[in-house]
């Protein structure tokens, strides 16, 4: 089987979804498609009855092709293209996030009478990929924007936030909910109102992280009664379910350092490695282990994945990259002519069948 490829454990994806439904009872679960847009993943989650979160026409088309009803789709991107808003409204979607007057004007014009929810600016301390500089608005401004929404014949529907991707700081979740409560009080009793906890739920790479259950226990006392609770996991649903299989292209010693080159790297699958994510790398080959600097196949010096303890490997040997189910194929490009990984969805544990042989 030609490498690189990504093996996804179907049972683990189902298990992660069940964990969310168990710890966040009564919550609607919307899968954040950007984490892994593979068609087989979409079909699996559709069979489970999940909702989906989308941001673009390209993403929406994947659901239209499969006949997924618009009532199960929301858009939490605070800044959307006019063409996407129009297409989404035509399809029947009516729930959209915003965080500015400008976005309200677009929604009022292109998706009148839609339900809109405001995105709060919250602390992103403890996340690998902070988002708060780009998106969000403070609570006092959020209340004003929701009132403006009503004036523009939109329906004020809720509040959302994002604590940042791969957030290991439970306090960030608590602080975000407390900010949301500042706004919720004003709109209590004015019709159905959503509190959307967003994403950011972390997964295990090399270091331990808080579990979904731990986070839920720490924040449940802050969630007000009577709200329509929602969560938007992406990484947390699919990340640990994926193992990337790569092949060794070569190795060398340079300035006393041992370098190992693989056929997958930053540009065709492991982009998050340049933002701090350290994937676990392992090999079934026996032998004395040592520290290697692991790099991808392209001619770009940025194409360096990180360091790993591995045995001496020869050209053609396999390296397995754990927790690779999220933000790998969705970020992957054909830079320098190297193809993105193909994706295979398998039932049951995949560690014993990594080579599909």
Provide the annotated active-site residues: 299
Q: How many helices (H) and strands (E) does the chain have?
A: 9, 18
Q: Do residues 149 and 193 lie in contact, with contact meaning Cβ atoms separated by under 8 Å?
A: no
Indicate left, alpha or beta for 240 from its phi (over 0: left) and psi (-120 to 50: alpha). Answer: alpha
Angle subtended at Cα 23 by Cα 18 and Cα 28, rounded to the nearest 5 degrees:
70
Query: Which residues are registered as beta bridge partners of 346?
Result: 9
Nearest of 147, 59, 56, 146 to residue 99 by alpha carbon: 146
DSSP for residue 86: H
> What gap in Å lies between CA 265 and CA 72, rounded to an integer?
35
Residue length of the chain? 357
Burial 33-52 (b: 16+ CB within 10 A, else e): bbbbebeebbebbbeeebbb
Coil/strand/helix, residue 116: strand
Q: Do residues 350 and 243 lie in contact, with contact meaning Cβ atoms separated by under 8 Å?
A: yes
Q: Is residue 113 packed enough to be buried (19+ CB in 10 Å), middle (13-18) or exposed (0-12)? A: exposed
């Amino acid at each position: 089987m030609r490498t690189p490829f990504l093996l996804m454990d179907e049972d683990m994806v189902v298990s992660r979804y069940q964990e969310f439904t168990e710890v966040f009872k009564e919550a609607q679960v919307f899968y954040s498609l950007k984490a892994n847009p593979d068609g087989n993943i979409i079909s699996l989650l559709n069979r489970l009855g999940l909702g989906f979160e989308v941001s673009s026409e390209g993403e929406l088309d994947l659901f239209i092709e499969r006949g997924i009803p618009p009532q199960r789709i929301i858009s939490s991107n605070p800044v959307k293209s006019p063409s996407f808003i129009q297409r989404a409204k035509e399809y029947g979607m009516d729930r959209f996030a915003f965080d500015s007057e400008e976005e309200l004007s677009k929604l009022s014009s292109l998706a009148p009478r839609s339900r809109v929810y405001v995105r709060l600016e919250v602390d992103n301390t403890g996340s690998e990929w902070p988002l708060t500089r780009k998106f969000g608005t403070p609570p006092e401004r959020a209340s004003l924007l929701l009132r403006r929404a009503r004036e523009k014949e939109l329906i004020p529907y809720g509040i959302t936030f994002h604590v940042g991707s791969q957030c290991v700081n439970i306090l960030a979740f608590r602080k975000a909910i407390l900010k949301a409560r500042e706004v919720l009080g004003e709109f209590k009793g004015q019709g159905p109102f959503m509190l959307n906890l967003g994403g950011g739920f972390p997964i295990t790479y090399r270091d331990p992280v808080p579990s979904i259950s731990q986070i839920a226990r720490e924040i449940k006392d802050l969630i007000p009664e009577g709200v329509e609770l929602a969560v938007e996991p992406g990484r947390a649903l699919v990340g640990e379910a994926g193992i990337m299989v790569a092949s060794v292209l070569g190795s060398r010693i340079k300035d006393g350092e041992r370098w190992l080159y693989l056929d997958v790297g930053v540009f065709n699958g492991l982009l998050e490695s340049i933002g701090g994510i350290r994937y676990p790398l392992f090999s079934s080959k026996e032998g004395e282990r040592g520290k290697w600097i692991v790099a991808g196949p392209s001619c770009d010096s940025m194409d360096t994945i990180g360091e790993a303890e591995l045995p001496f490997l020869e050209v053609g040997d396999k390296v397995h990259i754990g927790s690779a189910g999220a933000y790998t194929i969705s970020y992957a490009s054909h830079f320098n002519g190297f193809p993105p990984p193909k994706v295979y969805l398998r039932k049951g544990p995949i560690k014993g069948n990594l080579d599909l042989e």
